[in-house]
Amino acid sequence: MSLVKLSTSALAIAAVTATAAAARDQVQVAGSSTVLPYASIVAEAFGENFDFPTPVVESGGSSAGLKRFCEGVGENTIDVANASRQIKSGEIEVCAANGVTDIIEVRIGYDGIVFASDIAGEAFAFTPTDWYLALSDTILVDGQMVANPNTNWNQVNASFPDQPIQAFVPGTKHGTREVFEDKVILEGCEATGAFDVLKAASGDKKAAEKACIGLRTDGKSVDIDGDYTETLARIESNKDGIGVFGLAFYENNTDKLQVATMSDVVPSTESISTGEYPVSRPLFFYVKKAHIGVIPGLKEFAEFFVAEEIAGPDGPLAEYGLVADPELEKTQTNVADEAVMNSGS
């Protein structure tokens, strides 16, 4: 039976190649789904312009990427981790315990976080206070912390339309959630004076911050664990919904979404780079120094990523929605010198 022959030979090939699993020749990247589009744009251009194969970019989230990054050194582990937040000290410790000691931190630029609703709906001009009053589980009323009584936007701010509060915010596994909590909810908490009351009650700044960022769980605020496409789908089916998006995602879907201003600033790459628009965060990738020279093209890829023609203000990344880093030159030198973290760089 030729089928038997065919399958045995295929089996043999599989066995032989499995033992010869050495010598990986392309860079492997994993991590944040926010950085994924930028990393794939760079990977594609890298594959086109260099003789190295196109790097592989996986998504899965900042934490998952850094976890895999810290698993150890060797061809079987990833070379680069993308993250939409800075690496935490706990993660650096895990890395060190697994032998990943020399890590090069590269900041590629900034990413804006925008609030957008259905294009046919009402326009909004938010402040962090509005979001705090709409979504926090407890708010300050007459000097007392009470369970959030607001059900419609006009209760939050008299200038808003009488529209039920319905927000789609990123789930806790997203790096975006942290930015939303720190730069919007916490700001609002402080502005309304709730922070001081909470701090006086608990006597602890950390505890007060934690109490501030607790979101209501009565269905007015919905955690989205999927991607922005899921948030968009939710808004399309519930026209009253307001979602949290990355700037690049909004710019690709301007026919379906209208963006809200934050503290009277319209989000754009320009207003974010000048610092006028408040809700933004830096994006990073981390490189294993031990892999440079072992994995062909790794250093070239890292240098290409932050090159002026890629990550600069006129490069393809800025065109897609990244806010170029004004200190890009410093980053370029860091990468060229392979300057690792915590070594006085």
Query: How many of the chain's residues bind other proteins (CB under 8 A)?
Result: 60
4 counts as binding other proteins under rule CB under 8 A: yes
Give the C-alpha separation, 109 to 102, whole Å.
Answer: 22
Q: Rounded to the nearest whole angstrom, what is the least distance from the CB of residue 86 to other proteins in the complex?
A: 22
Which of 2, 17, 144, 217 binds other proteins (CB under 8 A)? It is 17
207 counts as binding other proteins under rule CB under 8 A: no
Beta strands 280-288 and 103-118 are antiparallel
| Token pair recorded at residue 89 | 């000290």
Residues in CB range of 134: below 8 A, 6 or more apart = 148, 150, 153, 156, 165, 167, 220
The helix/strand/coil state of 163 is coil
Nearer to other proteins, 109 or 128 (CB): 109
Nearer to other proteins, 57 or 212 (CB): 57
Q: Return the H-helix or E-strand segment holding 280.
A: strand 280-288
146 counts as binding other proteins under rule CB under 8 A: no
Which of 151, 229, 274, 342 binds other proteins (CB under 8 A)? It is 229
Given the structure tokens 């800025």, which residue do they identify? 318
Which amino acid is present at 296? Answer: P
Q: Rounded to the nearest whole angstrom, what is the least distance from the CB of residue 53 to other proteins in the complex?
A: 5
Give the C-alpha separation, 60 to 38, whole Å.
Answer: 15
76 counts as binding other proteins under rule CB under 8 A: yes
Residues in 280-309 that interact with other proteins by CB under 8 A: 309
Q: Stretches 138-146, 209-217, 248-256, 336-344: which one binds other proteins (CB under 8 A)? A: 248-256
**Triad 6, 10, 11: Cα angle to 5°:** 115
Q: Rounded to the nearest whole angstrom, what is the least distance from the CB of residue 230 to other proteins in the complex?
A: 9
Q: Rounded to the nearest whole angstrom, what is the least distance from the CB of residue 304 to other proteins in the complex?
A: 9
Nearer to other proteins, 51 or 162 (CB): 51
Q: Rounded to the nearest whole angstrom, what is the least distance from the CB of residue 47 to other proteins in the complex?
A: 6
Q: Rounded to the nearest whole angstrom, what is the least distance from the CB of residue 170 to other proteins in the complex?
A: 14
What is the phi/psi pair of residue 6, to 5°? -60, -45
277 counts as binding other proteins under rule CB under 8 A: no
CA distances from 171 to 37, 168, 224, 231, 293 (A): 20, 9, 5, 11, 38
Give the C-alpha separation, 197 to 208, whole Å.
Answer: 9
Give the C-alpha separation, 221 to 212, whole Å.
Answer: 15
254 counts as binding other proteins under rule CB under 8 A: yes
Which of 10, 97, 123, 147 binds other proteins (CB under 8 A)? It is 10
Give the C-alpha separation, 109 to 84, whole Å.
Answer: 10
39 close to 304: Cβ distance less than 8 angstroms: no
Q: Rounded to the nearest whole angstrom, what is the least distance from the CB of residue 257 to other proteins in the complex?
A: 9
Give the C-alpha separation, 336 to 63, whole Å.
Answer: 26
| Contact set with other proteins (CB under 8 A) | 3-4, 6-8, 10-11, 13-14, 16-18, 20-21, 24-26, 28, 30, 33, 36-37, 39-41, 43-45, 47-49, 51, 53-54, 56-60, 71, 75-76, 78, 226-229, 248-249, 251-255, 258-259, 309, 316, 319-320
